[in-house]
């Protein structure tokens, strides 16, 4: 007779372990429900009891739903493979705003629910499009909720960049990776990719202290500079998430003035390159930020474009005999520098001195320049939108290489300096993405034009949505575009453009790839 061996008892996972193993979208829903207690408490302190009750009731209801669904799904193994996380990210951008819009709609009570949903999609995608023209129409509690949703959406993109997009070589990583977009580089990466759920939890735990710490630091220094508490907090969250949301008319009317704008610019650098706050996605070979191609390209843009604008305005001032007004010239130069930096990071804040150059020279600054800067966008794996600096850098390097071949046809492409981190087909893939982006821009513009919008309005809305730079709606055109007055179809198209711009076309194409559904 064989001996009976005692079986090992399986340890029952703890409460927090069971919670962390829940589906990603459900976790995001639960966190969003609990976070509604913040505006509820804020409304209670300000005696805005209607808003406080709406957010409190929504928080309780959402938490109960999260608990019930979590209990039903407890003990089940989380889905592996890349399809689940990509679908969860898509659901966070499309479905979660429905729940986020409920307390906003009930507390405002003077708009349609679809407008509230548009506001939440705009916030969670960090677009920050001004749905309501007059900031005073919303209470301070609602302004806080908008900025809070955008802040959480920016953190989601921080985490998703490392845990979802990087292993699949998407979101800009395809320029430096050796594998095709949507595929891992080798078998080891494929095995590691199956543990995406744990990587999400681990990345969130590592990045949350940095994200919260930087936001609190900016809040404190803006308070010290003279902003009132809510304005400082909303602007701090807006800069870190690159949403450009403001409870007032932006930094132009803030109490901190020029000092506050300088502080905001210093923190916008975190949207230029991920190397400013993390080294988990290295894109350069050399050490130090000065070797980062994204930072080098960003410095070139924020120096050259304001100088060109300044020279243009200087020519206009020369014609009207105002070239000796040094103070106005300096303020105009700073206004151009701050605004260009802000739109490059896709934040979209406009300097209080942005109009100084126009008033000094009598020339208007073309909004097309702001649209072009916003299209370039910020760094890979940051909260910024746009095409991304690394892709533009890859095309720039390829252009230099092609010009060298015109002079030296037999030369061999070297792997010197910055180019060593770009894969052989990096420029080709960057060009494919640029073409997909251009096709998306064309399609959205045509759809908006077919719904009754003019060419300029359709183009501005398309760029603002796909580049996730909502303030372009007010700054790029000759007149601000009233979002509330748009038709339902135009609003739906704009919502789709914001989601496509946030997830990027390559990620959506990868989501539709049949191979991902078989894994």
The yes-or-no verdict on residue 119 having pLDDT over 90 is: yes
Question: Which pLDDT belongs to residue 402?
Answer: 81
Over range 488-495, report the average pLDDT.
Answer: 95
**439 in a domain, yes or no?**
no
Q: What's 79's DSSP letter?
A: P
Confidence at residue 125, expressed as pLDDT on a 0 to 100 scale: 95
Count of Cβ atoms closer than 10 Å to residue 248 Cβ:
18
* Average pLDDT of the segment spanning 262-272: 93
Question: Using a CB cutoff of 8 Å and minimum separation of 24, what contacts does 48-52 make?
Answer: 48/139, 48/140, 48/141, 50/107, 50/109, 51/103, 51/107, 51/139, 51/141, 51/142, 52/141
pLDDT of residue 35: 96
Could you tell me if residue 396 is inside a domain?
A: no
Query: What is the percent of the chain where pLDDT is above 90?
Result: 45
Cα gap 4→175, rounded to integer Å: 58
Three-state DSSP class for 365?
coil
Residue 193's pLDDT is what?
Answer: 44
Residue pLDDT, tens place only, 431-452? 888 898 999 999 999 999 999 8
Establish if 425 belongs to a structural domain. Answer: no
**Distance of alpha carbon 206 from alpha carbon 188, whole angstroms:** 23
Give the CA diameter of the chain. 109
Cα 231 versus chain centre, distance: 20
Distance CA 447, CA 459 (A): 11
What CA–CA distance (Å, rounded) separates 421 from 415?
9
- The whole-number pLDDT of residue 475 equals 87
Q: How far apart are the first and last CA of the chain?
A: 44
The whole-number average pLDDT for the span 277-304 is 74
Checking if the pLDDT of 462 tops 90, the result is: yes
Mean pLDDT of 223-235: 94
Cα 211–138–491 angle (5° rounding)?
85
Which range among 71-75, 407-411, 482-486 has the greatest average pLDDT?
A: 482-486
Question: Which tens digit of pLDDT belongs to each residue from 339-358?
Answer: 999 999 999 999 988 877 66
The pLDDT of residue 285 is 47
For residues 413 and 484, the model is more confident at 484
Do 170 and 424 touch, CB atoms closer than 8 A?
Answer: no
> What is the distance between the alpha carbons of residues 98 and 156, in angstroms, rounded to a whole number?
17
Residue 80 belongs to a domain: yes
Q: Which of 105, 113, 22, 107 is CA-nearest to residue 65?
A: 22
Sequence-distant (6+) residues with CB within 8 A of 15 are none
Residues 12-54 have pLDDT tens digits of 455 556 666 678 888 999 999 999 999 999 999 999 999 999 9
Q: Distance between CA atoms of 177 and 234, rounded to whole angstroms?
A: 37
pLDDT of residue 424: 61
Angle at 166 between CA 160 and CA 172, to 5 degrees: 100
Phi first, then psi, for residue 62 (nearest 5°) are -65, -40
pLDDT at 133 over 90: no
Q: How confident is the model at residue 508 (pLDDT cuts 50, 70, 90)?
A: confident
Q: Which domain holds residue 169?
A: 16-276
* Residue 514 domain-assigned (yes or no): no
Domain for residue 22, yes or no?
Answer: yes
Long-range contacts of 445-448 (CB under 8 A, 24+ apart): 447/493, 448/490, 448/493, 448/494
**What does the pLDDT read at residue 382?**
86
pLDDT in tens, 49-105: 999 999 999 999 999 999 998 888 776 665 555 677 888 889 999 999 999 999 999
The residue-averaged pLDDT of 262-283 equals 80
Residue located via tokens 């796909």: 466
Give me the pLDDT at residue 407, please.
81
Query: Residue 52 in contact with residue 26, Cβ under 8 Å?
Result: no
Nearest-angstrom CA–CA distance, 362 and 318: 10
More confidently predicted of 61 and 257: 61
Q: What local confidence, expressed as pLDDT, does residue 49 receive?
A: 94
In a domain, residue 143? The reply is: yes
Alpha helix stretches (DSSP H) within 74-112? 83-94, 96-108
In a 3-state reduction of DSSP, which class is residue 413?
Answer: coil
For the chain, how many structural domains are there in total?
1
What is the residue-averaged pLDDT of the chain? 83
Q: How confident is the model at residue 7 (pLDDT cuts 50, 70, 90)?
A: very low
Question: Cα–Cα distance between 306 and 354 in angstroms, integer?
Answer: 11
Structure-model confidence comparison of residues 162 and 337, the more confident one: 337
Predicted pLDDT of residue 441: 94
In this predicted model, what pLDDT tens digit does every residue of 158-191 receive, in sequence order? 898 888 887 777 777 777 755 555 455 544 444 3
**121 in a structural domain:** yes
With a cut of 60, say whether residue 121 has pLDDT above it. Answer: yes
**Phi/psi of residue 384, each to 5°?**
-75, 155
- Say which range, 5-19, 279-293, 341-355, 459-473, has the weakest mean pLDDT: 5-19
pLDDT score of 79: 56
Mean pLDDT within 460-482:
91
- 136's tokens: 């005073």
What pTM value is reported for the model? 0.88
| In contact, 374 and 471? CB cutoff 8 Å | no
Average pLDDT over residues 459-483: 91
Please say whether the beta carbons of 29 and 35 come within 8 A: no
What is the 8-class DSSP label of residue 56?
H
Between the ranges 284-288, 379-383, 419-423, where is the mean pLDDT highest?
379-383
Q: What share of the chain is helix, strand, coil (3-state, %, to 5)?
A: 70, 0, 30
415 falls in which pLDDT band (50, 70, 90)?
very low
Whole-angstrom CA distances from 446 to 327, 418, 433, 453 are 45, 39, 20, 10
How far is residue 105's CA from residue 119's CA, in Å, rounded to a whole number? 10
């Amino acid at each position: 007779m064989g001996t009976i061996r005692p079986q090992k008892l399986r340890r029952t996972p703890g409460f927090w372990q069971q919670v962390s193993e829940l589906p990603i979208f459900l976790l995001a829903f639960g966190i969003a429900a609990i976070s509604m207690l913040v505006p509820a408490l804020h409304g209670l302190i300000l005696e805005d009891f209607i808003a406080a009750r709406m957010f409190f009731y929504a928080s309780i209801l959402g938490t109960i739903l999260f608990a019930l669904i979590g209990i039903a799904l407890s003990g089940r193994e989380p889905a592996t493979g890349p399809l689940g996380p990509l679908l969860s990210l898509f659901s966070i951008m499309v479905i979660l705003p429905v729940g986020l819009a409920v307390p906003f709609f009930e507390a405002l009570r003077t708009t349609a629910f679809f407008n509230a949903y548009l506001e939440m999609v705009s916030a969670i995608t960090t677009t920050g499009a001004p749905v309501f023209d007059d900031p005073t129409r919303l209470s301070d509690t609602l302004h806080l909720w908008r900025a809070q949703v955008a802040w959480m959406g920016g953190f989601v993109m921080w985490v998703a960049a490392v845990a979802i997009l990087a292993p699949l070589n998407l979101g800009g990583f395809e320029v430096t990776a050796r594998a095709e977009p949507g595929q891992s580089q080798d078998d080891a990466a494929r095995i590691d990719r199956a543990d995406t759920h744990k990587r999400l939890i681990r990345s969130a735990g590592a990045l949350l202290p940095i994200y919260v710490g930087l936001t609190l630091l900016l809040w404190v220094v803006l308070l010290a500079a003279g902003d009132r508490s809510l304005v400082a907090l909303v602007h701090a969250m807006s800069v870190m998430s690159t949403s450009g949301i403001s409870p007032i008319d932006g930094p132009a009317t803030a109490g901190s003035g020029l000092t506050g704008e300088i502080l905001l610019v210093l923190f916008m650098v975190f949207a230029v390159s991920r190397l400013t706050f993390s080294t988990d996605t290295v894109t350069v070979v050399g050490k130090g930020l000065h070797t980062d191609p994204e930072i080098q390209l960003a410095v070139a843009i924020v120096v050259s474009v304001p100088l060109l604008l300044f020279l243009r305005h200087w020519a206009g001032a020369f014609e009207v005999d105002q070239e000796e007004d040094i103070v106005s010239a300096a303020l105009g130069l700073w206004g151009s520098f701050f605004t260009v930096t802000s739109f490059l990071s896709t934040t979209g804040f406009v300097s209080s001195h942005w109009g100084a150059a126009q008033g000094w020279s009598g020339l208007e600054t073309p909004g097309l320049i702001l649209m072009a800067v916003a299209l370039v966008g910020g760094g890979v794996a940051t909260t910024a939108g746009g095409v991304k600096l690394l892709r533009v850098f890859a095309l720039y390097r390829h252009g230099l290489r092609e010009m060298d071949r015109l002079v030296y046809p037999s030369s061999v492409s070297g792997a010197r300096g910055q180019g060593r981190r770009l894969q052989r087909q990096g420029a080709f893939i960057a060009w494919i993405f640029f073409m997909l982006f251009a096709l998306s821009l064309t399609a959205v513009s045509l759809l908006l034009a077919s719904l009754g919008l003019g060419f300029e309005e359709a183009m501005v809305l398309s760029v603002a949505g796909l580049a996730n730079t909502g303030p372009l709606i007010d700054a790029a055109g000759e007149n601000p575009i009233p979002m509330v007055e748009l038709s339902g179809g135009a609003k739906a198209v704009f919502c789709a453009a914001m989601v496509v711009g946030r997830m990027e076309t390559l990620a959506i194409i990868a989501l539709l790839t049949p191979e991902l559904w078989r894994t």
